[in-house]
Amino acid sequence: MTALLNVKDLRAYYGQVQALHGLSFSLNEGSLTTLLGANGAGKTTTLRAICNMVRSTGSIEFEGAALTSRSTEGIVRLGIAHVPQGRGTFTNMTVEENLQLGAITRKDHAGIVSDMERMYAHFPVLKQRYTQQAGTLSGGEQQMLAVARALMLRPRLMLLDEPSFGLAPLVVRDLFGILGKINREDKVSILVVEQNAQLALELADQAYVIETGRIVMSGAAKDIANNEDVRKSYLGY
């Protein structure tokens, strides 16, 4: 199987501070991969570096195309949708406008309309609220909106930054269920960064563990979940 995303020796900097120290990993077409690690390990930075939102060196290839020299919006146009930490909701716009923004780079009007319907099928609550200002949605609803907005791009790869953050456990279950479905049915590869390791490992097929800017462990999600040493020392459950 060919790698969809290939990251080699990635180093990232915030001003003088180095946050990633030579990270390498790859992600297969159609896979659901999770990136685990404690606070400050560099998970968010990795996602931001993929979209060129932080100064970095090293090589990042998506379907053989180098990403490092491209602008954020150029990378998104290649088919990488990024659901950032804090969801990045356009709070003063309506739910529908948020979804339209997700598809703003697409030209196929009919496709956009049918995708919108598909999103409403995935997330019925968004349909009920489509004229409402997005800022008035609850945290869980906003997270669903953010995922739906990212899917409106018809991405090849979706990057999710802590989708469970601040959500009630039941809502998280629901959301992760939908993510699995999207991965299987829509053939969208997913890279999800999580602190909730247990849940992420249930969902994912591949997993990487980061600590202080380096990959310390990788393998099939099942194996990592079953390895008690790893669980205790890195994942804390």
Partner 1 sequence: MELFTNQILAGISTGAIYACLALAVVMIYQAIDHLNFAQGEMAMFSTFISWQLMQWGLPYWVAFVLTIAFSFAGGIAIERVLFKPLAKAPILTNVAGFIALYSIINSSAGLIWDFTIKQYPTPFGSAPFLGSQLISTHQAGMIGVTLLLLLALYFFFQYTRVGLAMRAAASLPESARLVGINTSWMIALGWGMAAAIGAIAGILIAPVVFLEPNMMLGTLIYGFAAAVLGGLTSPFGAVVGGFLVGIFENLAGTYIPYAGNELKLPIALALIVSILVVKPAGLFGRHIVKRV
Partner 2 sequence: MSAVEDVATQAAAVEAVPKRAMTLGTGTSLVVLTLLLVVPLFVKNFIIFQMTMLLIYGVAVLALNILTGGSGQFSLGQSAFYAIGAYTSAILMEQYDVNYALTLPVAGLVCFGAGFLFGQPALRLSGVYLALATFALATAMPQLLKLGYFEKWTGGVQGLVVTKPDAPFGLHMSQDVWLYYFTLVITVAIYVFSVNLLRSRSGRAFMAIRDNEIAASAMGVNVALYKTLAFGVSAGITGVAGGLGAIAVQFVAPDSYTIQFAIALFLGMVVGGVGWLPGSFIGSAFIIFVPNIAENISKGLSGAVFGVLLFLVIFLLPHGARQIAIVGQQLLARLRR
Q: Which residues bind partner 2 (CB under 8 A)?
A: 14, 17, 19, 39-45, 85, 162, 195
Measured distance CA(70)–CA(230) in Å, rounded:
36
Q: How many residues does the chain have?
A: 237
Smallest gap from residue 203 Cβ to partner 1 (A): 23
Smallest gap from residue 168 Cβ to partner 1 (A): 24
Smallest gap from residue 39 Cβ to partner 2 (A): 5
Instruction: Give whole-number Cα distances, 223 to 1, 14, 142, 204, 205, in Å.
Output: 20, 34, 33, 11, 10
Place of tokens 């699995």: 180
Residue 89 binds what, of partner 1, partner 2, none (CB under 5 to 8 Å, by partner type)? partner 1
Smallest gap from residue 92 Cβ to partner 2 (A): 16
Q: Is 72 in the site for partner 1 (CB under 8 A)?
A: yes
- Of 36 and 50, nearer to partner 1 (C-beta) is 50
Q: Which of 92, 110, 228, 237 binds partner 1 (CB under 8 A)?
A: 92
Q: Residue 208's beta-bridge partner residues?
A: 35, 218
**Binding residues among 153-212 for partner 1 as defined by CB under 8 A:** 153
Q: Residue 56's beta-bridge partner residues?
A: 12
Closest CA to 188 of 122, 128, 132: 122
| CB proximity list for 173: less than 8 A, separation 6 or greater | 199
Q: Is 223 in the site for partner 1 (CB under 8 A)?
A: no
- Of 82 and 122, nearer to partner 1 (C-beta) is 82
Q: Which of 3, 38, 54, 101 binds partner 1 (CB under 8 A)?
A: 101
Is the distance from CB of 71 to CB of 80 less than 8 angstroms?
no
Taking CB under 8 A as the binding criterion, the range among 25-33, 61-69, 96-104, 136-144 that sits at the site for partner 1 is: 96-104
- Of 27 and 83, nearer to partner 1 (C-beta) is 83
| Element holding 28 (H helix, E strand) | strand 17-28
Is the distance from CB of 229 to CB of 56 less than 8 angstroms?
no
Is the distance from CB of 124 to CB of 84 less than 8 angstroms?
no
Q: How many helices (H) and strands (E) does the chain have?
A: 10, 10
Smallest gap from residue 69 Cβ to partner 1 (A): 16
Which chain residues interact with partner 1 by CB under 8 A?
A: 51, 53, 71-73, 76-77, 81-82, 84, 88-90, 92-93, 97, 100-102, 104-105, 149, 153
